[in-house]
Amino acid sequence: MNPLDGLTIVSLEQAVAAPFATRQLADLGARVIKIERPVVGDFARGYDETVNGLASHFVWLNRSKESVALDLKSAEGREAVQALVDRADVLVQNLAPGAADRLGLGAEELRARNPRLIHVSISGYGTGGPYSSKKAYDLLVQCEAGLVSITGTEDEPSKVGISIADIASGMYAYSGVLTAVIKRERTGEGATIEVSMLEALSEWMGFPLNYAIYGGASPSRTGARHAAIAPYGPFTCGDGNQVFLGIQNEREWATFCTFLGSPELARDERFVRNSLRVEHNAELRAVIEGVFQAFTAERVAELLEVSGIANALLRTMDGLAEHPQLEARGRWRTYQSPVGELRALIPPVTMSDSTPVMGPIPDVGQHTEAILAEFGIAPESTVPAGF
């Protein structure tokens, strides 16, 4: 038995945030009915064709779901969704701001029909306020949350290389649903949940926000280094490659000084505590790289590991796909898709008494006829258009 067996979720979802939340629920056994535009489906299906003709984002986010194609601009399409939601446990939606309410699919109306319903809305900036109707894409929210301002090099800011604002809001929607399910077991009542991308990502900005508010200045952009910890980040070795360090406390610093062959560095007035090491980071880097020049990066990493000092070598995506730790722990599984068998990592939370669901990726509208029949909705309710 999986933890969420028997839970039915209807999702008016597109792109990343809501699909990420619902795929994690599907991983735990929930039934996820994905409402898509007829013919074209979720526009994330068209982002690229890199996974044997499928889009890499869509493949990542949409396994184990059932696809129902409905035209939400038609009365019949809206009525079909309402009929599905009447028998569902959860509705998740990340349509354009205000669209769900205009379609008669807002929390107030749907929860009046189904008081046990958990209604989840994900938006860019939340309801109310001057930004409530502003378009919100991941990069733009990264900018508004200040993340881009502290990411990158001294010369140029940079966005994070993954859709981190979408992922943050999807994670909070996912955990919000789980919380509401527990609450409903105790009270019998559903819930109305709202998650904004800005507020989700702003929560993750806690360190730099506190640093700026109370320190008088934002953390500097330092590339892969750290604005408030030293030594931390990449250090060049004799073969021109880099090894990455993460010294977290004074005990580790003293151990590292011994590793460098200079235990007296731990008492050097420039480096005696972390804030001073940050202040004199250029001098510290010269000392460390002076020692590392005698070795290749792989050899430095081996020696650091023996000494118990946190380290890493920089891996590419190919390196991640072949990571020995993931292989040793059996984290890969195969599953089906419209283009054949694919390979993916199982969810990171391991439960001893359940197995993650790794169901197929659906074609657009693949389950429309069967699900409408199951829920007693006439198949002619659908009209090929979109929402």
Q: What residues are labeled active site?
A: 226
Query: What is the crossing angle of helices 206-215 and 197-204, to 10°?
Result: 70
For the chain, give the number of residues.
387
Which residues are bridge partners to 31 per DSSP? 8
Starting at the edge strand found earlier in the chain, the sheet holding 232-236 runs 232-236, 242-246, 311-313
β-bridge pairing 90-93 and 118-123: parallel
Quote the CA–CA distance of 265 and 121 in Å, as a whole number: 54
Cβ atoms of residues 354 and 2 within 8 Å? yes
Cβ atoms of residues 147 and 205 within 8 Å? yes
Tell me the one-letter amino acid at 228.
A
Q: How far is CA 40 from the centre of its chain?
A: 25
Which DSSP category does 244 fall into? E
Quote the CA–CA distance of 64 and 68 in Å, as a whole number: 13
